[in-house]
Amino acid sequence: MKTALLTSAAAIALIAGSTAAFAQSRDTIQIAGSSTVLPFASIVAEEFGAVFPEFNTPVVGSGGTGGGLAQFCEGTGDNTIDIANASRHIRDGEREICTAAGVTDIREIQFGFDGIVFASAASGPDFALTPVQVYKAIAAQVVVDGELVDNPYTNWSEVDASLPDQPIALAVPGSNHGTREVFQERVVGAGCEEAGLPEGLSEDAVEAACTTYRQDVVTEISGDYTETLARLNSDANTVGVFGLSFYEQNTDTLKVATVNGVVPSKQSVATGEYPVSRPLFFYVKGQHIGVIPGIEDYVAFFLSEAISGEGGTLEAAGLIPQPADKTAEVLAAFEAGPTQ
Amino acid sequence: MATTSASTSPQTAPERTRLIRAGLRRRHRSETIFRGLGMAAIVLALGFVVLLFVDVIRKGVPAFVQSNLHLEVFFDPAVIKVDPAPQTGDFASPAEFQAASLAWQRDVALLNWNRIIEASLRAKLPANTQIDTRELLTIPETNARHQVRELFVANPALLGQTVPVDVLASANAANWIKGNIDRSLGDAQQQMSPAARAVIDAFETSGTVSNGFAWSLFTNADSRAAPAAAGLLGAFIGSLYMMLIVIVLAVPIGVAAAIYLEEFAPKSRLTDFIEVNINNLAAVPSIVFGLLGAAAFINYLHLPISAPLVGGLVLTLMTLPTIIIATRGALLGVSPALRQAALGMGASKTQMVFHHVLPVTLPSILTATILGVAHALGETAPLLLIGMKAFVAQVPVTPLDQATALPVQIYLWQGNENRNFFEPRTAAAIMVLLGVMILLNGTAIFLRSRLEKRV
């Protein structure tokens, strides 16, 4: 018994000692953020690990764009992440938090595009949506006869006769997701503008009218797209907001809606014909370059033609590549160093 | 019965018998009802368990089968155009050799290995099949090229030779082969192109594709680039490290704390206060321990994020109260006669505790420990808060490397976008986790019965 006690005491001391000794060394790139970027970043991380035997395979976490940037802006050092994946630009507020925590060298990498699609159960009716219809369906207050009133619509067919006679139910990404911002800006915001609010509203009132959703028909999903999919499976009337790449992996259960008459596809997003798309980014902590091995190589590898270019690995996984000269420009800006 | 009470009761004998019978019936009825309710409760509980198991097993079984492509890979010198591999003898120092070897490996990695894979697939195609490269390459999993490349790196002499290699079919091809996707759906709803599906069907007839046990599930770490090759090994090792840390830390600390509190500490307000707090801690939701761990170990002590070390420490904190409470309960249950006998024979208090009391309580402490560890094994919430839900493609070598854990892997696979492929994988991961749990609990029961017999 005595020896057992001694051994365990020694083991505790050993663990305590080793934690102190190893606390200051990390040689694996740590990434977190957007769940839209996650599949792409994970694939690049794995390929990177395979091609560069001298570096460890980077570790990729999710948490949404907001969550990833919050972690990114916690500060510098071993216990903070090196790269934040984002499906939108970093906000000024986030930059301020970053700066306050000492993260001053933030390098933005844009690597491609993703479409945002509306999809519903494959067994259900077809949807052909326009931004203004989506706005009318989900805004808390809409314009009826020139006045703002509480949203009276219960079925899509009441919003527009061309839409199916089906109760309105929409699952949208929660505010921790970058997708939400694009959805708000490109769909609801655009629809709100088109719908034409009554004259004489204050700026705040317009803002509120365009950004407040009805809580009874809109479900905010803070998890991943699979959670949205589960919502669709439990209520066949729900229309979900997904990334194009997620939809393409699940065409057997999902049916995609057209927006302004355009079917979302890699081609229609790349040409800009399909209106709801956004660039994808990741942000690199410049201060970690040279400290955590392999960051520059990871960025160069990510932007290489075989990975994110036309016909590259990521295109097969659903990414919409950006023009090669844009990529070259991004890489040059990264290598040139901090922009501010 | 009737004759003894006849004088004291005004009722007639048949009347009394009737009353007694009625009373008996009532008591029997209430007993029957209670038994029935008890049975119903058990049947209901078991029913839910069976439902869960049947559902998980039904969904998970396909994931234990993997589709393999049997190819003859020709290491074509026309494609593999690299310098010969550096040899140890050519370099002055091991460091130089290391650098040259890494550079050579990178050159090899940048070759277009897909051309080798494509050629070996085309060799197996039935005559007159028209399929373009892109469609053809959707059939093997994307890690096939790494597999072939690693063969070459390990043995550069393969250049110009033809070697049989088994590679995995891609996740979508496996969905088609195993019927995870509805085969009757139209082209627009299928993941594979019609040409690729026809080729797979032809491969099935010719035996180029066959199903086998999914060893990859147990020998690989997680993968997103090659979903068909995604396995549980990384998560399993991560969980193993955490369990070791929990056992090494929680058991000695917990048992020592319990012995001190129970046997040595004076009964005072302070010890009462400590006891109340320990009991409270045992009831604290695990996510709170996760927050605590993130604040204390990562932000303050600067331990690495996503590391099993931190996970193990958090789970240790979570398991400690359980072990302390169980050990104290076991110590309380030891007969005072044993202690008094030991003390009466002149043993010191320490000798009394370690030579006489502790051995008697060992089975209970062991059981509590194993159950505590099993509980910790299935814990997910605190791990999410210390960064252990990240995608990790490597098997952790030390507890300081980034890793996931089995329950977190279930969570991650549940969120994968290829639903047709990962729904079975998720269920399979649940089955593996349940298997480990059953093993641990079984060990607890076995050890308990063995040790109790001995004592």
CATH superfamily of A27-114+278-336: Periplasmic binding protein-like II (3.40.190.10)
Q: Classify residue A257 by its DSSP letter.
A: P
A189 min Cα distance to partner chain B (Å): 28
Answer whether B248 sits within 8 Å of A47, measured CB to CB: no
Q: What angle do CA A111, A113, A116 make, to 5 degrees?
A: 145
Phi/psi region, residue A290 (left: phi>0; alpha: psi -120 to 50; beta: rest), is left
Tokens in use for A260? 């302004």
- Distance (Å, whole) CA A51 – CA A294: 12
- Distance (Å, whole) CA B445 – CA B455: 15
Instruction: Give the best residue of B419, B421, B423, B426 to mutate against chain A (max A CB count within 10 A).
Output: B419
Kindly report, residue by residue over B375-431, the tens digit of the pLDDT: 899 888 899 888 888 888 889 988 888 899 999 999 999 888 888 899 999 999 999
- Could you count the other beta carbons within 10 Å of the beta carbon of residue B74? 16
The domain limits of chain A are: 27-114+278-336, 115-277
Answer whether B224 sits within 8 Å of A78, measured CB to CB: no
Kindly report, residue by residue over A16-72, the tens digit of the pLDDT: 544 444 444 678 899 999 888 999 999 999 999 888 888 989 999 887 888 899 989
pLDDT at A199: 78
Of A78, A226, A313, the CB nearest to B304: A78
Query: Is there a contact between B130 and B80 (Cβ–Cβ < 8 Å)?
Result: no
Interface contact A273, partner B, CB < 8 A: no
Residue A116 neighbours by CB under 8 Å, 6+ apart? A179, A182, A183, A186, A187, A241, A242, A243, A244, A276, A277, A278
Which residue shows structure tokens 């050159």? Answer: B107
Q: How far is CA A23 from the centre of its chain?
A: 32
A17 min Cα distance to partner chain B (Å): 12
- Distance (Å, whole) CA B49 – CA B56: 10
Largest CA distance in chain B: 120
Q: Residue B392: its chain A contacts at CB < 8 A?
A: 57, 59
Which DSSP string do the residues of A159-216 spell out, in sequence order?
Answer: H-TTS-S-B--EEEE-TTSHHHHHIIIIIIIHHHHHH-PPTT--HHHHHHHHHPBPTT
Tokens in use for B352? 């009394």
Sites in chain A below the pLDDT cut of 70:
1-25, 339-340
pLDDT at A6: 55
Answer whether A57 sits within 8 Å of B420, measured CB to CB: no
B214 min Cα distance to partner chain A (Å): 21
Instruction: Give the best residue of A15, A27, A126 to mutate against chain B (max B CB count within 10 A).
Output: A15
Interface contact B82, partner A, CB < 8 A: no
Interface contact A222, partner B, CB < 8 A: no
Of B248, B252, B389, the CB nearest to A61: B389
Which residue of chain B comes nearest to A55, CA vs CA? Answer: B102
pLDDT at A16: 52
Residue A124 neighbours by CB under 8 Å, 6+ apart? A164, A166, A236, A237, A255
End-to-end, the C-alpha distance of chain B in Å comes to 50
Tokens in use for A317? 């996984």
Interface contact A108, partner B, CB < 8 A: no
A310 vs A218, A298, B298, CA distance in Å? 37, 19, 41
Query: Looking at chain A, how many residues does it have?
Result: 340
pTM of this structure: 0.83
Residue A195 neighbours by CB under 8 Å, 6+ apart? A132, A135, A136, A142, A143
- Could you count the other beta carbons within 10 Å of the beta carbon of residue B341? 13
CATH superfamily of A115-277: Periplasmic binding protein-like II (3.40.190.10)
Is the ipTM reported for this complex over the cut 0.90? no
Answer whether A46 sits within 8 Å of B189, measured CB to CB: no
Which residue of chain B comes nearest to A23, CA vs CA? Answer: B303
B376 min Cα distance to partner chain A (Å): 19
Which residue of chain A comes nearest to B138, CA vs CA? Answer: A316
How many CB pairs below 8 Å do chains A and B form together?
140
Shortest CA distance to B144 belongs to which of B175, B172, B165? Answer: B165
Q: Residue A177: its chain B contacts at CB < 8 A?
A: none
Sites in chain B below the pLDDT cut of 50:
1-7
Which residue of chain B comes nearest to A11, CA vs CA? Answer: B248
Tokens in use for A26? 């990390």
B58 vs B51, B62, B448, CA distance in Å? 10, 8, 33
Task: Quickly count helices (H) and strands (E) in chain A.
Answer: 16, 13
Tokens in use for B230? 């995604």
Based on the number of CB atoms within 10 Å of its own CB, is B335 exposed (0-12), middle (13-18) or buried (19 or more)?
Answer: exposed
- Distance (Å, whole) CA A81 – CA A69: 9
- Could you count the other beta carbons within 10 Å of the beta carbon of residue B128? 5
End-to-end, the C-alpha distance of chain A in Å comes to 64
Query: Is the four-CA dihedral B223, B226, B231, B234 of positive or negative sign?
Result: negative
Q: What angle do CA A115, A119, A125 make, to 5 degrees?
A: 140
Of A22, A122, A226, the CB nearest to B415: A226
Of B224, B253, B390, the CB nearest to A61: B390
Two domains, one topology: A27-114+278-336 and A115-277: yes
Which residue of chain B comes nearest to A2, CA vs CA? Answer: B354
